[in-house]
Amino acid sequence: MSDVTAETAAPAPPTGLKRLWKSIGLLRESYVGMFGAVLVCFWVFIAVFVDLLPLQDPLAQTRGAQMLPMLTADAKDVMHWMGTDDRGRDMLARLMYGARVVLFWSVLATVVAYSIGMIMGVTAGYRGGWWDEIISFIGNVFLAFPQIVLLLVIITAFGPSSQLGIWMTNELGLDKTLVSGSLIIIAITFSTAPQVARIVRGIVLDLKTRDYIAAAEVRGESPLYIMLVELLPNARGPLIVDACLRLGYVIITIALLGFLSLGLPPPDPDWGKMISDGRQWGYNGLNMMLWPALAISSLVLGLNLLADGLREISLRD
C-alpha cells in the first residue's frame, strides 16, 4: 500500500474583490449600516452623474422668479420643484450640483489629512524615541488650539480676500475656487491630522508587538516596508470606521465655513452658503435654508450610520 497521501492544497487567500464582497455581505446583516450606505450612495450617485440629470443651470438667474415656493412654475412655465432662491436660481439644481462641490472638497480634504496623520502616527508608534517625541509635540501644539479658531485664523489670514490671496489670484492668475479649496484642505489637515496620528500611534503600539512584525524584522525588512505593508494594512479596520465619522465632521466644517462666507467663493453652489443666503431673508427664506440643511443632515447621518455598521462588522470578525 502506497505511503503517498493526497496533499490538500491550502486555500488561496481571498482577493480584494472577494474581501469587498464579503464585507458587503456582512454589512447587509446590519440594517443601520445598510440604511447609512444607501444615504451615502445616493449622494455619491448624484455627485457623479449630476450632469446627466434633467436639471436646470444652477447658475442661471431668472428675472421675476425670485423666492418662488416649492412646486411653482415661473412665467416661462418652467417648474421649480424646490422653489428658487433670492436671485431666481433653481434650488433643486443648486442642491444637486452642490453635492458634487461638497463631496469633492470634503473627500479630498479628508484623504490628505488622513494620509499625513497616518504617516505621522505610524512613524511615531513604530520608531519611537525622538521620532515619537517630535511628532507628538507637533501634534500637541496644533491640538492646543480650538479647532474652529485655528480654521478661522488660517482662512482669514491666507484666504482669497487676504493680501496673499489677492496676490495669488491677480498676479499668478489662480482661480479663486482653487485657492479657497486648497486653503480649506490645508486648514482641515492642520486640525485633523494630529487627531488621526494619535489614533494610529495607539494602534501601532499594540501591533508592533505581534509575531509577524518580529518575523519581518528578522527577515531584514526595512522600517518603511514594515510600516506601510505590515502595520497600516492591519490597522485598517478601526481607521475605516474613524474615516467615515471624520468625513462627516469635515462636511459640517466646510458647510460652517460656507455659512460664515469663508468657504468656496460664489457663484458655485455651496450648501453652507445657501443656508446663509436664506438666513438673511428670515421666515421668507425658510425654503432656501431647509433643503441644504436636510442635505447636510442626511449625508452626515448616512456616514455615521455606515460607520456604526462597519464597527459591527469589525466586532463580528
**Mean pLDDT of the region 243-263:** 90
Determine the Cα–Cα distance for residues 33 and 39; give it in Å rounded to an integer: 10
pLDDT tops 70 at residue 246: yes
For 113-165, the pLDDT digits (tens) are 999 999 999 999 998 889 999 999 998 888 888 888 888 888 887 777 677 77
What integer pLDDT is reported at residue 135 of this predicted model?
Answer: 92
Mean pLDDT, to the nearest integer, of 296-317?
84
Tell which wins on pLDDT, 300 or 180. Answer: 300
**pLDDT tens digits, 76-94:** 888 888 888 888 888 999 9
Question: Which residue type does 118 have?
Answer: M
Res. 317 pLDDT band, cuts 50 70 90: low
Mean pLDDT of the 177-205 span: 89
| pLDDT value at 4 more than 60 | no
Cα–Cα distance between 298 and 129 in angstroms, integer?
44
Range name among 27-36, 214-223, 288-297 with the lowest pLDDT average: 27-36
Rounded CA gap, 103 and 47, in Å? Answer: 7
Residue 39 has pLDDT above 90, yes or no: yes
3-state secondary structure 57-105: CCCCCCCCCCCCCCCEECCCCCEECCCECCCCCEHHHHHHHHHHHHHHH
Q: For 208-282, where are the alpha helices, taking DSSP H only?
A: 211-218, 223-225, 236-259, 271-279
Q: What percent of the chain has pLDDT over 70?
A: 89
Which pLDDT belongs to residue 191?
A: 87
Query: Would you say residue 225 has pLDDT above 80?
Result: yes
Tell me the CA distances in angstroms from 112 to 78, 88, 206, 297, one per residue in order: 42, 37, 25, 24
At 80, phi and psi to the nearest 5? -115, 100
Q: How many other C-beta atoms are found inside a 10 Å radius of the C-beta of residue 190?
A: 18
Which helix (H) or strand (E) segment is 37 a member of?
helix 31-49
Specify the pLDDT at position 69.
85
Residue 18: per-residue pLDDT: 57
Domains of the chain: 28-316 (1.10.3720.10)
